[in-house]
Amino acid sequence: MFRVTNTQHLCKLNSLKQLNLQQRVSCFSSSTRVHANAISSHDTTIDGMKVFWEKAGTGAHNVLLLPGALGSTRTDFSPQLEELNGQAFTLHCWDPPGYGKSRPPNRTWPEKFFNRDAACAASLIKSLGKYLFQLFIISSPIW
């Protein structure tokens, strides 16, 4: 794990874009944290679809975690939810409709399912009342 001596100062910068890779990675860990982050679970309905999402941390930087194909909040992002620097970041992780705990119904695969998921994620962000998010995506290969 990369470390920077003054992580708290670095993570208070206006944008992570101003940080190099080593500094960005260090913001996700905190050498001063003693306990794992509390993770809260939520259910909501967006465009008639059940959506499950979890939140960890209370920091100023909001991050939306998007799981890969057939992934979920816990299969793809448990370490991040539990071990992030919760003073610097607030993570919002969702199960897209039909994945994980966003069932029933099971996942469907219409022609424009990526568009549907993107619109649903945008609606989730709007419902949280926070408009500045960074995205962290697990990409799965398309065969």
Q: Which helix (H) or strand (E) holds 113?
A: helix 113-128
Taking only the tens place, the pLDDT of each residue in 32-85 is 444 468 999 999 999 899 999 999 999 988 999 999 877 889 999 999 899 888
Cα separation of 79 and 84, whole Å?
Answer: 8
Taking only the tens place, the pLDDT of each residue in 76-109 is 999 989 988 899 999 999 999 998 999 988 888 8
For residue 34, the model assigns a pLDDT of 42
Taking only the tens place, the pLDDT of each residue in 126-143 is 998 877 788 887 766 554
Neighbour tally for 33: CB within 10 Å: 13
